[in-house]
Structure 1
């Protein structure tokens, strides 16, 4: 069956004469351009498995429902499209470099790009509002999927065979979801997102419920700063998230680490929280903007108290200082008293708080060995006080954070 685009347009303009089920065609070849721009028809339009060799124009149109399942066409242009119910493009095959241009849509139901939907060029749904879901199960996008500043009520499902390949630089990710607000779930389970640059741009995305994001389907870098979500992210382990944030983000940013730690803290996983915080500090030292002295002090804090999250490390260092003090005294031969008293003397000079009776020990300061003992024990005492202080500060800080 053949029908002209002008005939379909005329039928929709005269929509009051249509059946309440709207206008329906299946398997038709549409000749000429199907231009429904600015047509307002409060009836469904169903064009299933239709073919046209020109882009379908839907800019600023308003229908009750639009079903273009199985459409074969170069492109669909739908800027400002308004639908009371669903938009269905499942099984559609679009061949133009800009396959879907649908900015500023208002969809009262859901958008379905499923069941073999194939776009050779970019698909743009940015700055639109979708009351239901954006479902892309089994869809293939050979260029970018742009859903910037989208507002979706129930959820976004890029899953179960959804494949997006595109991008190639920092400005054009395969999936650009920056600034999108999802009241429900964001589900990437079973999806594949591939780029030689950024695969997923999720900056400033707000997810009202669960984030289901297995990381093995992401082949490329990610951008996550400003992304917030409820509960624990699912489908990836803590170790996988630590690797992702440390090695597959474009640069160091504090917020993704804080968000991940807050999610685990809310779940009562304090051990994981400490691991996340320590990994964050390592990433800060490696990629953050620190001065030379700031980097050196950061390294010292990490080695001694784990940046306040492992205060027990300071006790290990303190024990090492005490052992070194005992070794210096015993091996020098410049301290005159019994071996037991020499050990007590070494602990006296190095231990900040505990004192052992070693009053009968004397140091032969006239010899080089004696002077070495005196100088080294003074230095070791300073180090012992420093490690004891770091332990107390780290421990009280940890208690305060967990209170």
Structure 2
């Protein structure tokens, strides 16, 4: 391309490039106004630059000795397609507050640094792009799909307050699947109407999606399957309409959903199954709308407030070391009862272990009692009947004082009844002196013999009372032994 073919606006860019000088079409030149670069990007020929001119500059323009060439343009209207497919560009590229008429194609390109801050684009094709420095899409507005699949970014990927949208919702609004980011993915305040894909991405630092707004109510809003983050993944105060899919993710630090609003009624709001997470924070926000799926995940610290937990959960094989905040067992148990998979013994054992680690044995016993009661509902009728007996008498061994209360009550009833109506001795000359208390104890305690039971024979009502005392004594003894055995074996 010859310099004589350039428009005045393009000539400014051409002459500034070898020395790395900035060209700002937002300034009051070439018929521009002082209203700002973004408005100026909508203007006429005074700020219009052909994409072919920019391509020629980046790939073939001569450099000046002793100067660092760079393309630094603000407020331009760029016509045509900026085609840098598979190109190698060793100059800094900054096209901020510009308006692109066509979708730039950076597929497979190698760039030193790219800054599109504040620009408006109909989309971006940049699969497998390699950026040796940072990639800045801060405050960009995209009217079509942004494809960064397999991108390799050595520095930080900036997308603060960027907006992504697809007209029909068919394609993902943003594709970062299989991308590699050498530092951080910084996108607080991001807005997306359509799916955001981070599946298989690797981020050496943190993923910051605080205050993000993700909107895809009829499907998956955020796909982060097998995402690997060496630090934190933050969605504090995020608002998501649609499913958050994080199956198999690896987060070395904190997965922070504090004050977030997740809504996918009739479907799964958050699926973080088979994940390995340092800390998972679910606190401060409204109750999640949809299913919470944490199956088979391994979490060191689970900070989960009951008020955030939805009506349906899936917790099978979830393991955690610490559960915060420390709350009474009755506040935690309703969550286990909401499991879609039904009765899951492992969930009760995990909660029991969490209480025992902090020395709250009373709460641990309450959880175990709730486990036995939940299990009872899965048994046949005779199992449920025997379970009711164990529960009423000794609380499945976790309420041993109940046995003492029953024994003392029955002892009192029997002692009074037999003191008022003593039974007749079987052999008057051989029978010991009758004692109503020890006679009742002989009936109640099957392994103790005070010599009273075999020496006297009650009749009528006294005989029926003796049957009740003997049967009740055996039941109490059996349930106490069963409960103690269960407790001892568990310890």
Using a 3 Å threshold, how does the CA distance of structure 1 residues 333 and 340 change in structure 2: closer, same or farther?
Answer: closer
Correspondence 1:23-38 to 2 at 5 A? 23-30=114-121, 32-38=122-128
1:363–1:239 CA distance, 2 compared to 1 (3 A):
closer
Corresponding residue SS for 2:323:
coil
Q: Label 1:67 to 1:3 Cα distance change in 2 as closer, same or farther (>3 A).
A: farther
Give the corresponding residue for 1:177: 272
Residue 201 of structure 1 is matched in structure 2 by 293
Equivalent residues in 2 for 1:349-388, closer than 5 Å = 349-352=443-446, 370-388=459-477
Q: Is the alpha carbon distance of 1:318 and 1:330 closer, same or farther for their aligned partners in structure 2, counting shifts above 3 Å?
A: same
Distance in 1 separating the partners of 2:341 and 2:79? 50
Kindly provide the CA deviation profile for residues 289-310 of structure 1, in whole angstroms up to 9, marking residues without a partner as x.
Answer: 3122222222222222211222
SS of structure 1 residue aligned to 2:84: helix
Distance 1:333 1:147, change over 3 A: same
1:358 Cα deviation after fit: 6.0
Rounded to whole Å, the distance in 1 between the matches of 2:188 and 2:80 is 21
Q: Structure 1 34/311 Cα, relative in aligned 2: closer, same or farther at 3 Å? A: same
Describe the SS at the equivalent of 2:336. Answer: helix
Deviates more, 1:254-263 or 1:383-392: 383-392
Stretch deviating more after TM superposition (266-275 or 322-331): 322-331
1:126 aligns with 2:225: yes
TM normalised by structure 2 equals 0.70
- 1:156 is aligned to 255
Instruction: Report matched runs for 1:3-402 at 5 Å.
Output: 3=78, 6-7=81-82, 10=84, 13-18=87-92, 22-30=113-121, 32-64=122-154, 65-74=156-165, 75-96=173-194, 99-114=195-210, 116-121=211-216, 122-159=221-258, 161-168=259-266, 172-182=267-277, 184-195=278-289, 197-198=290-291, 200-207=292-299, 209-234=300-325, 236-247=327-338, 251-286=342-377, 289-330=378-419, 335=424, 341-342=435-436, 344-352=438-446, 370-395=459-484, 397-399=486-488, 401-402=490-491
Give me the whole-angstrom Cα distance separating, in 2, the residues matched to 1:272 and 1:237. Answer: 7
Distance 1:6 1:45 in 2: 20
User: More helix per residue: 1 or 2?
Assistant: 1
- Conserved in 2, the CA contact under 8 Å of 1:221 and 1:250? no
Distance 1:164 1:333, change over 3 A: same
TM-superposed deviation, 1:148: 1.1
SS of equivalent residue, structure 1 residue 382: helix
Which structure is higher in RCO with an 8 Å CA cutoff and minimum separation 6?
1
Structure 1 residues 372 and 68, CA gap change in structure 2 (3 angstroms): same
Question: 1:73 is paired with a residue of what secondary structure?
Answer: strand
Partner Cα distance (1:249, 1:229) in 2: 20
CA distance in 1, matches of 2:451, 2:481: 26
Counterpart Cα distance in 2 of 1:52 and 1:58: 13
Deviations 1:181-210 (A, max 9, x none): 11x211122233522x42x21111111x32
